[in-house]
Amino acid sequence: MGYLEGFGITLRQHRLFGGKRVTTSYSGGRVAKQGKPVEGRDEKIEKPERMHGRHVLNRYEDGMEKCIGCELCAGVCPAKCIYVRGADNDPESPTSPGERFGFVYEINYLRCIHCDLCVEACPTEAITESKLFEFSFTGRKDAIYTKAELVVDDQGKPRQLPWEDWRDGEDTNTSGWMRATSPSGSAAFVGEVGWSSELGHGVRAPEPKQADADRPTTVRVIARGGATRPPQTGGH
C-alpha cells in the first residue's frame, strides 16, 4: 500500500492532474555538447547561495594550497567518501603554509551525500562546495575525483571536467559561502569578515544576515553546574 501512496503523490504533482511543475526540461548538457541550441529547452534553475554541489580545494592569494593534510574532513565524513594522506612540506618549496600538505586527496562521488560536514570540519577553509550539481559519469574512475581535479586553477576557479555542465556564473562563488554557521558559531560575529584571503577572490565579504537577523531575540545561557546566567539580547 505504501508504494501506491507514493505513486499517488507523484501523480498529483503532475501538471495533467492540476499539480505544479517542479523541474525544468534539462538534458544534462548533452545537447550543448552536440553543438545544438539550448535556449528554451536546456535550462537550469537558479540555485541558492549555499548550494551544496561539487567540491573544490582552494588556494591562498599567493598560490599556496590551503589543505594541510589534517584528514579532519575524512574523519567527519558519514559516507566515508573522502580519502586524504598528508605529507611533510619541502622547506625549500612548500606546498602549503604549514608543516604538512595534502599529498593525496580523493572524493568518491558514488558515495558522497553532499552533507557539507567536510566543509564545516576544515580548519583552513580548504575544501568548499560549488554550485555545480549537474555532473555525471559513466565509469567508476571518473566518479573518483583526485586532487589534481579538485584544486582550483591559477585564477582560483574550479577545473571544468568534460562530464561537468558549467554555465556562466557558476564558478564565481565557490568558497566560504558554503559554510552553514557564522565564525565560531557565535551570533556576535555575524556581519564580520571571517574568511581568509583566497586566490581569485581576495578577502570575502561577511555572510549576509538571516531573514530575522534584525529582530532581537533573548538567549538564556546555562553555565556548568546548572547555574543560569542573565539573559542576553542579540540579533539571533
Residue showing cell 580523493: 106
What domains are there in the chain, each with its CATH number? 2-33 (no CATH), 55-182 (3.30.70.3270)
Q: How far apart are CA 153 and CA 104, in angstroms?
A: 17
Q: Could you say which residues of the chain have pLDDT below 50?
A: 213, 217-222, 224, 226, 228, 231, 233-236
Tens digits of per-residue pLDDT, 151-179? 999 999 999 998 888 888 788 767 655 55
Q: What is the pLDDT of residue 53?
A: 87
Q: What is the pLDDT of residue 107?
A: 97
Q: What is the pLDDT of residue 73?
A: 95
Tens digits of per-residue pLDDT, 188-201? 766 677 677 888 88
